Amino acid sequence: MQDAAAEGGTGRFQAQFFAMCGLNAFQWGTCLHSICRKTPPSVKYRRLFLSELIKRHERTAAEPLDELYDALAEVVGAKEEPVCYKTYLLPSGEPVSLEENVAFISDGTTGLVTWEAALYMSEWALENQHIFTGRTVLELGSGVGLTGIVVCQACKPTKYVFSDCHQTVLQRLRNNVHHNGLTEHGNPDSVSVSVEELDWETVSDEQLQRIGADVVIAADVVYDPDIIGCLVRLLAKLLNCKMKESPPEVYIASTIRNPKTYECFRDELEKAGLKHLVVTHPVTHVFPYTRVSTIEMLKILS
């Protein structure tokens, strides 16, 4: 039992480290882990981690560990890059590694980092796999791709369409999708994926009909009052367009940073004749992230 507990503690620590979270404990082997070597966190994060780890190790009066000092020397001399990797571990232990920007806002977009609602929606999908299994899924505002990659890896949809409208985001999204082993054509045992440019304001009925979504999801897309109108019009088009016998299931996860903006979204849904239900089922914590802000999931209906 003690070994199992220790192993569980190591797993939790590694999950926090790979996702570049704040740490209360330190384990030196993580910085030499194959995941860290292949898809490293930012240079600054690794430098701070190793510096603190060495301080704590020296306080124990234990023998110096050459590997620690070698690892620190490697990052002290390294150039800080504008991009880094964050890795999230699925319950199976399989990693989802994403190339993200170090800065929250860059190239005129917030779509080059993973936001909390995407992590929440990923956890929700892991607990509601039946919604996605064997179906065609369209994701709006996919960003760097966490939610979609988690759904593809764990929920076995037939087809998954990642979408965004910013060219830099789309290129980063394609890189992350391919890096995590997903292909556009798939095979009989895997999901077929595509990355599409989808402008909420100008998307055509033909493009939506070609996609033929059974499920539509989006995370952290309700943050700017200026885009709420075109988002709601797109949702209405998806729900009212006669693409299939029944309209798609639509789920939107939002971090409520500005209650007025969120209330504006709900008001616009009502004006468009769309109903919404708050999804209240509890979600098991799988990924490490700050859970201070309120995150709400809505199911949108025509």
Model pLDDT for residues 141-188, shown as the tens digit of each residue? 999 999 999 999 999 999 999 999 889 999 999 999 999 999 876 666
Mean pLDDT of the residues in the chain:
85
Model pLDDT for residues 72-127, shown as the tens digit of each residue? 888 887 888 888 889 999 999 999 999 988 755 444 444 456 889 999 999 999 99
Residue position matching structure tokens 């998307």? 203
Q: Report the pLDDT averaged over residues 237-260.
A: 90
Indicate left, alpha or beta for 161 from its phi (over 0: left) and psi (-120 to 50: alpha): beta
Per-residue pLDDT, 74: 83
Which H or E run contains 134? Answer: none
Give me the sign of the Cα torsion angle 37, 40, 44, 49.
negative
N residues, the chain: 302
Q: Domains in the chain, ordered, with CATH?
A: 7-81 (no CATH), 91-301 (3.40.50.150)
* Assigned token pair, 57: 């190790």
Q: Report the pLDDT averaged over residues 48-77.
A: 78
End-to-end alpha-carbon separation of the chain, Å? 52
